[in-house]
Amino acid sequence: MIGAFEPAAPTVYESAMRILCLLSLATSLYACASREPREEPRTETARTDSTRGNEGRGATEQTEGANMAPERRQQAGQAEGAERAGEIPAPPDVAAPPADAQREPSGLASKVLQPGTGTEHPRAADRVTVHYTGWTTDGRMFDSSLRRGQPATFPLNRVIRGWTEGLQLMVVGEKRRFWIPEEMAYGGRPGRPQGMLVFDVELLEIERAPEPPPVPEDVAGPPPDAERTESGLASKVLRPGTGSRHPTATDRVEVHYTGWTTDGQMFDSSVTRGRPATFPLNRVIPGWTEGLQLMVEGEKRRFWIPPNLAYEGRPGPQGTLVFDVELLRIL
């Protein structure tokens, strides 16, 4: 949806959805396009939306073009070409941040184009609605919500680092230009805009995320009273359930969950997204497939999942993972 989206570490829910996408491409194209948060941005290459000839140009305009210095003729030609292709012309300082740009220790540079009317800044977990346009430093526009005529809405912690940091500097109503170094953008990944990227961003709305659940006191390791299975999975019931049936490995379940690494860093939470996750139980990490079969509806349980039952050897959070899981429904 947006040229700044950056995939985060795969979540349990996202892993399940990816496998389902592979099983049915036609279905996944619809599902992955409509699911939030989206993992990958859409970076659009400008397409020709309209063409315009030279009819109606006066002799004065043509003479002025002929008398332009070569540099000015080149710039004018680029702007005219961009207009014909439906692009938004690049700003004059697209090649590099000017001397009066605000610079952060991370290397991010920005400049306020229009002061805001709000007073609150978004936090990393909040959802924001913005209008934006992005260019490479040679002036090529690669994405724009303005050209699509529709603002973009997304969780701020699901985009490239330059956006996550930069938009927290803004207030509602503000328009700001960002110069985002490559390491805070796509890091040279093939198929993505390369090098430093320049964005004009207008912050339209902030939707506050729910407060994240507190880090468990026993996040570093299972306590002595935790249940342990032969596989090495440990768990502890936090709240008894109201149901009597346990899900099987082939059932679909609906859950709320939060995940932490053992140093207390939260890496995923359906709670902060404000939306439960639904997936087939045999399409998630092995620790979840095994652990949720111990639960009944209404139960809340904490799991300590060893690396071999989590993401060991695959993209995702590494080491032992701790999850608080509430089983809402067996579908």
The residues assigned a catalytic role are: 132, 142-143, 160, 186, 199
Element holding 277 (H helix, E strand): strand 277-280
Residue 266 three-state SS: strand
- 275, 273, 272, 305: which is closest to 287 by C-alpha? 305
Element holding 163 (H helix, E strand): helix 161-166
Residue 173 three-state SS: coil
Q: Are strands 175-180 and 227-228 parallel, antiparallel or unpaired?
A: unpaired
DSSP assignments along 36-104, one per residue? SS-SS---PPP-------STT--HHHHHHHHHS-HHHHHHHHHHHHHHHTTPPPPPTTTTS--TT-EE-
Q: State how far the Cα of 203 lies from the Cα of 308, in Å rounded to an integer.
A: 42
- 159, 278, 258: which is closest to 213 by C-alpha? 258
Q: Are strands 227-228 and 197-207 parallel, antiparallel or unpaired?
A: unpaired
